[in-house]
Amino acid sequence: MKTIYLILVLLSTFVVHAYAQQKPYMDYVLSWDGDTSILEVELTYSASQKDSTVFVFGDPSFGGQNDIFNVIKNIRVSEPEVVRIDSATRQITVYHNGAKVPQLRYEIDGSFNESQPTVASQTELFRPVISKGFLTLVNKQFTLEITDESNPLVSFIWRDHPENFNYFNSVVPSQTDPSQKLSAYYNQVSEMVYFVMGSNIDVREYNVMGIPYYSVTTKEDKYGNDLQGSLSPFFERYFPSIHRFWNDTDFPFYFLAASALQNNQKEIGAGGFGIRNGFVMKLGRAFGTWEKYVTAHETAHTWVGIKMMLGKASFDHQWFGEGFNDYTTLINLANSKIYGQEEFLHYLNEETLKKHYESEVKGAPNDAIAANYWTDYANYGKLPYRRGLIYAFYLDNQIRLASNGKFTLRNMLLDLYRYRKAKSKDEALTVDDFISAGATYIDKAALSQQVKQFMIEGIPIDFNSVKLIDAFNVEINDSIPKLNLSEGADLATIYQW
């Protein structure tokens, strides 16, 4: 009887294993020698008895794409398979011809155009940073999108890598050995996976309200930065502040990665992108007031812009995704005392109100932004940030006045967040949801008209006729509003939670 039971267990184990192997998968094996700008990639994947598999490399919304097949190179397969490349569609088609275990090999070239290294490192986000002793990499920069599988299991492992380099990954941050396999489902990978490896990397762990937070930085750079020291106030004050703002600590972990570029032709500021449970920053000068803002803004996107979006695409209502995020950023910088009165008012007045009301496109309708975003970023790219922040400040004041200070914009945003959590994953928040959330605090018809005029049609708010809470006063010079704090007003009192 025991023998029969053992056989049944073994058969069950075999069936489970066989079933697991039949699930669609993509296994990436990575190699880098630590010296060159070349990442070698070997991809083994399931073909599900298909005659061919079609992959797509790159994402046009993720930075420039002008020379993408100078980044992915030497694409090859082994007989009997045959590969065909269509550069116009970025498609890589593999004809299997009966191959049992399909495999695709290629290289990712991180080298820059020597005449324009700064431009390449900042605007060509699809190009990874791979240089002597230092590598930063997100999956969009080396993985392939498979066109006919919805949810394969994806794994990553490093075959060759420098033994003495520090390493960080965004799948399992506590796993510090590159030779250990990482696995994730495709829907997780689609939200980006981050790797950093190098001799000049410092990784520190913080406990923020019970959540593991990781600070990943370069140790030394030519700008004299102490990046770990510059970032520590965020882990000690800003991140606790924004978790309290949203009443949300439902995170497995979070990371902030800041690496200083060494190939600049001239000093530039900070840029980067948010990914699943983290933010990656490329820094091109000393870490200062603007870099504090960028760090705060991008990490605040965890909520507005990632957990909460209006519409189904990021361009639908950037006035909310960028502008309202900017406002929550600014008031949390004030709450955490990383920004004082001077920095707070400078960002409101000089970086937002002045530039918006002087802009030639300040009255452009919302649907004009997507068409002009990449071709005229200086005007259209910044438009939703400024327009949305100004309206968020205005709306916050109107809610405070209507409720005699009992409620603020935070209450409305928390209600909207509850709307989001009550919806299915594939169901988007709408402008009507935004209006319904706000109608608890101010007149619904007035709110609907504000959104239509100020955000959709793009009509600038006329501050000549705007009433604000007593803590603020406004002066108008040459049609440009300028905000001031009233005597005795305190930011820490205005923005507390």
Task: Judge if 38 and 98 occupy the same domain.
Answer: yes
Task: Judge if 403 and 479 occupy the same domain.
Answer: yes
Helices (H), 234-288: 239-246
Residue 65: the pLDDT is: 67
What is the number of domains present in the chain? 3
Domain membership flag for residue 309? no
Task: Judge if 438 and 345 occupy the same domain.
Answer: yes
Task: Find out whether 475 and 447 touch, Cβ atoms under 8 Å.
Answer: no
Task: Judge if 234 and 287 occupy the same domain.
Answer: yes
Domain membership flag for residue 122? yes
Where among 148, 182, 197 does a domain terminate?
197
Where among 274, 300, 326 does a domain terminate?
300
d(CA 410, CA 394): 13
Torsion, Cα of 137, 105, 20, 191 (10° steps) = 30
pLDDT above 60: residue 18: no
Considering the chain, what is the average pLDDT of its residues?
89
63 conformational bin, left if phi > 0, alpha if psi -120 to 50, beta if neither: left
**Mean pLDDT across 257-270:** 74
pLDDT above 50: residue 128: yes
Task: Judge if 174 and 247 occupy the same domain.
Answer: no
pLDDT in tens, 75-113: 999 999 999 999 889 999 999 999 989 999 999 998 876
**Which of 111-125, 373-387, 412-426 is the least confident region?**
111-125
Task: Judge if 211 and 172 occupy the same domain.
Answer: no
Task: Judge if 466 and 401 occupy the same domain.
Answer: yes
Where among 149, 169, 197 does a domain terminate?
197
Task: Judge if 172 and 238 occupy the same domain.
Answer: no
Residue 255: give its domain's CATH number. 1.10.390.10
Task: Judge if 42 and 126 occupy the same domain.
Answer: yes
pLDDT in tens, 281-328: 888 889 999 999 999 999 999 999 888 999 887 778 999 999 999 999
Which range among 1-15, 121-135, 211-225, 258-272 has the greatest average pLDDT? Answer: 211-225
Residue 101: give its domain's CATH number. 2.60.40.3650
Task: Find out whether 330 and 352 touch, Cβ atoms under 8 Å.
Answer: no
Domain membership flag for residue 305? no
Residue 13: the pLDDT is: 40
Secondary structure letter of residue 114 according to DSSP: T
**Mean pLDDT across 463-477:** 96
Residue 311 to residues 85, 192, 314, 430, Cα–Cα distance (Å): 34, 21, 7, 6
Residue 377: give its domain's CATH number. 1.10.390
Residue 261: the pLDDT is: 74
Task: Find out whether 233 and 336 touch, Cβ atoms under 8 Å.
Answer: yes
> In the structure encoding, which two tokens stand for residue 421, read together?
């959590």
458 conformational bin, left if phi > 0, alpha if psi -120 to 50, beta if neither: left
Residue 4: the pLDDT is: 41
Its domain, for residue 265, covers 200-300
pLDDT above 70: residue 199: yes
Instruction: Work out the pLDDT band at 459, boundaries 50, 70, 90.
Output: very high
Domain membership flag for residue 323? yes
Task: Judge if 219 and 359 occupy the same domain.
Answer: no
Domain membership flag for residue 18? no
Task: Judge if 165 and 254 occupy the same domain.
Answer: no
Domain membership flag for residue 5? no
Instruction: Work out the pLDDT band at 371, boundaries 50, 70, 90.
Output: confident
Task: Judge if 292 and 146 occupy the same domain.
Answer: no
Domain membership flag for residue 337? yes
**Which of 111-120, 389-398, 400-409 is the least confident region?**
111-120
Domain membership flag for residue 3? no
Task: Find out whether 399 and 441 touch, Cβ atoms under 8 Å.
Answer: yes
Residue 264: the pLDDT is: 61
